[in-house]
A and B are shown apart, each in its own frame.
Chain A
Amino acid sequence: MQHLEALTREAAALANGDIDTIGASGLHGLLPLTADEKEVARTLQICNACRYCEGFCAVFPAMTRRLEFPKADIHYLANLCHNCGACYHACQYAPPHEFAVNIPQAMAKVRVQTYGDFAFPAVLGGLYRRTGMTVALALAGGLVLFLLMVLAMRGSLWHAPLAGNFYAIFPHNLLAAMFGAVFLFAMLALGIGVTRFWRQVTPGTRDGESHGAAAGSAAHDALRLKYLDGGHGKGCNNDDDAFTLLRRRFHHFTFYGFMLCFAATTVATLYHYLLDLHAPYPVTSVPVLLGIAGGIGLLIGPAGLLWLNLRRDPKTMDAAQKPMDRGFIALLLLTSASGLALLAFRDTGAMAALLAIHLGIVMALFVTLPYGKFAHGIFRSAALLKFHIEKRRPADLALGSD
């Protein structure tokens, strides 16, 4: 009986996360689990014995293909989680239950850790823990840089109207070089980061296997935000146990708004170099129409996401990530607001100041892309790809009850 009491104590310790459920076996020579990773492993062990949440999203079906949760799997599953909150509200083991299962929060904590762990250059991974300051500094730096450039080049922020000709303020090639370099660096840093992540979690390629179809499914799920639909199509949880599609819709506004703005820039670049058509473009031109549509999407989406974020049940979030979430949302919102303001007043004497402000914000956005919330899209897409590769394979387990 004493032995049973010891077992009970051990179980209680497990439930409290005091013991590493994975054991000290070394996990194929990997680093020991962090406290946040242990919490994910602990709770997934409980989830895997329950499985009631299998219908909500991809995380639980992926979990059932496993019996243990080593580091790489924890990283993979954490990034597969869309933080919809459904499993928390449905959980019979959520606090105040002594098992204290809270998958959305546990996954969120590991997720941000992976962004930092895999960041390039590694020394900048720490920025993820200080995203509020990172965004603030980038924004201040961007604004100061461009405002000073205006002053240096023109001597004054105010000027006679220039009919919207930005290049009278900043030469086209200067802007193209600055933004091109920063954007390429951001893409390179994110690319290296996600490649490092992929190397750790890769499912490999089996004989006769092509990942094309899996990539298609992953793209489908990412572009449609399938796992914000709750599995039943009613959406995810925000304030409480009610389902809402608002988060999915505002995210669509944000993402597709961003993509339209990106398309506007791309078309304008093609106009410039291929067609020798130079800005300013008329309001009815393709680049400006794309920019207006994208800008409006990028106003509605982030505003909605910010509103939802402020109302979100704090129990399903990692409180430490609020600055990262809200900082990124704020930069997107400022980007669209300043861009639309610039368009509205490009024929006035305020154009130079507005242009400097807009460029400063966009520069801050680009600089922080690899060190902030933007990373979630890249890492989650990689996790979805792995999910769809695995899903096409027969299960490795044959658990008796099936």
Chain B
Amino acid sequence: MSSPMIDVLVIGGGNAALCAALMAREAGASVMLLESAPREWRGGNSSHTRNLRCMHDAPQDVLIDAYPEEEYWQDLLKVTGGLTDEKLARLAIRASSTCRDWMRSHGVNFQPPLSGALHVARTNAFFMGGGKALVNAYYRSAERLGVRIRYNAPVDRIELDGGRFVAAYIGNERIAARACVLAAGGFESNREWLREAWGQNERGEWPADNFLIRGTRFNMGVLLKHMIEAGADAIGDPSQSHCVAIDARAPLYDGGICTRIDCVSLGVVLNANAERFYDEGEDFWPKRYAIWGRLVAQQPQQIGYSIIDAKAVGRFMPPVFPGVKADTLPELARKLGLDEATFMRTIGEYNAACRVGNFDHTVLDDCHTEGVTPAKTHWARPLDTAPFYGYALRPGITFTYLGLKVNDQAAVHFGGQPSDNLFVAGEMMAGNVLGKGYTAGVGMAIGTAFGRIAGTQAARAATGVASQEKDYATS
């Protein structure tokens, strides 16, 4: 070997990996980062993100009011239904209140919330230009600081000595290092694994075959599977994933934010049998969009159809593809390929059941149905004004929850024992904090907090320099 031993090897190329690489380099370690994707696809799911959920006790530049630790924790407790680790969660929450100066120092720019996202103006700081701009800034900063970056470098296995990291392999190429950070994402792009995790339903279908992947095509979970097989302690349910109803015409991978369909609560949603199956007006759409992926996944052929009329136009974020448009309801049924008679009966029953009060999409209004199952509890107005529009919906997987168990130093564990020099960050361990559910910007908060911890710990493990105890919550 002509080149000297690398101190810290970072495997992965998204937000958590970059945070780890930057922190390790700043701590004085020599760092190499291996991104499995080519340069133009670098950054993993981070390229599709747009904000960071931030704790703050007082207004902070782009953040208004306050979002105290306790409220953040309660929000997390609620969305995860208790599937979280309070100590690790609070660590990430506190870190989110102070990490942005560091992020800015590496070129990340923040801006006030985007139009269409004002409901998170208080809680979330938005990246100017979105996650890809953040990823670009981090790569640029990493290059400037001397982090060696390799693209097209998919690691397929790790050489371990007991619980210690020895080397990583890209095919036959062996890359040894003194410490390692794993931040290579979940397994949501691995169709076979998804198929296996979701299994076969009572209709004999393999639901996952009809799923779309909202993010990167490079999260194959190769390293995650390898580590679990090698005895690393796992956390999370492999059949769990963040699953959103998106436009059925979205690309198989990387459809990102723009494939969302935001008109569900303004109309009705039918399945392939032209029947309604859930209360479309249960709550505000930002609070409900994440359950609709699973709802649609449970329907025959894993497809749904969001139906609206002209009254809804201009009241929801514009979809990326135009809806199927028709001047009459029967025509819409035919154009959508749904059974016309059932479609008309379903819509007729719904329309007749609507008790329209004062329609107001900004509050939980009093427009509801009576005598129809399932009920629509808010914003129920008859579909009676042409033209009518239909949008086909598919389950879109954002990320998976299965990961590796960690402690507050982001160490990988084997049989309950933390490794000295192997750490993990990002989607590969987010399940420790986010066992299920989701709330905007929390993935980036976990990735940033544990990426930085992992980088610091890896540098310390590699260089043997006992840097002063760091309080991650305040530095």
Contacts and interface: CB of A to CB of B under 8 A. Distances in A.
Interface of A: 1-4, 7-8, 10-12, 14-15, 21, 23, 45-46, 48-56, 61, 64, 67, 86-87, 89-93, 95-99, 231-232, 234, 241-242, 396-402
B124 to A, nearest CB: 13
Given A7-B248, A92-B48, A96-B41, A49 B257 contact: yes
Contacts of A86: 129, 133
B109 interface: yes
A401 B317 contact: yes
Contacts of A234: 109
Interface residues of B, number: 59
A52 B249 contact: no
Nearest to A234: B109
Contacts of A11: 247, 249-250, 321
B128 A56 contact: yes
Contact of B116 (A8, A99, A402): A402
A49 to B, nearest CB: 4
Nearest to A3: B337
B4 interface: no
29 contacts: A3-B336, A8-B249, A14-B322, A45-B318, A49-B318, A49-B320, A50-B256, A50-B257, A50-B320, A51-B114, A52-B50, A52-B130, A53-B129, A55-B128, A64-B115, A64-B116, A89-B132, A89-B133, A90-B133, A92-B254, A399-B314, A399-B318, A400-B262, A400-B316, A401-B118, A401-B317, A402-B116, A402-B118, A402-B119
B301 interface: yes
Given A56-B129, A92-B254, A51 B116 contact: yes
Contacts of A399: 115-116, 262, 314-318
Given A46-B258, A241-B136, A397-B314, A402 B115 contact: yes
B197 interface: no
B314 A49 contact: no
Interface of B: 40-41, 47-48, 50, 109, 111-112, 114-119, 126-133, 136, 140, 247-251, 254, 256-260, 262, 265-266, 285-286, 301, 303, 313-322, 324, 335-337, 361-362, 392
A92 B314 contact: no
A313 B265 CA distance: 44
A266 B2 CA distance: 69
A245 B322 CA distance: 39
Closest 4 CB pairs of A and B: A3-B337, A52-B130, A90-B129, A11-B249
Contacts of A96: 40-41
Contact of B132 (A21, A46, A64, A92): A92
A21 B115 contact: no
A51 B118 CA distance: 13
A232 B110 CA distance: 8
B129 A1 contact: no
Given A7-B248, A49-B260, A90-B132, A398 B324 contact: no
Given A49-B320, A54-B115, A234-B109, 6 more contacts: A55-B112, A90-B129, A97-B254, A99-B251, A399-B316, A402-B115
A51 B140 contact: no
A401 B119 contact: yes
Given A87-B129, A400-B266, A400-B361, A242 B316 contact: no
A185 B118 CA distance: 50
Contacts of A10: 249, 321
Chain B CB count within 10 A is highest, among A7, A8, A21, A97, for A7
A52 B259 CA distance: 14
Contacts of A2: 337
Contact of B392 (A7, A46, A50, A402): A7
A401 B362 CA distance: 8
Contacts of A51: 114-116
Nearest to B322: A21
A117 B254 CA distance: 38
Chain B CB count within 10 A is highest, among A55, A96, A99, A234, for A55
Chain A CB count within 10 A is highest, among B41, B260, B337, for B337
A23 B131 CA distance: 33
Contact of A48 (B129, B286, B315, B318): B318
B114 A398 contact: no
A2 B272 CA distance: 12
A23 B117 CA distance: 29
Contacts of B256: 50, 92-93
Given A46-B320, A53-B130, A92-B131, A1 B301 contact: yes
A338 to B, nearest CB: 41
A337 to B, nearest CB: 37
A281 to B, nearest CB: 49
A401 B136 contact: no
A23 to B, nearest CB: 8
Given A1-B301, A52-B114, A401 B129 contact: no
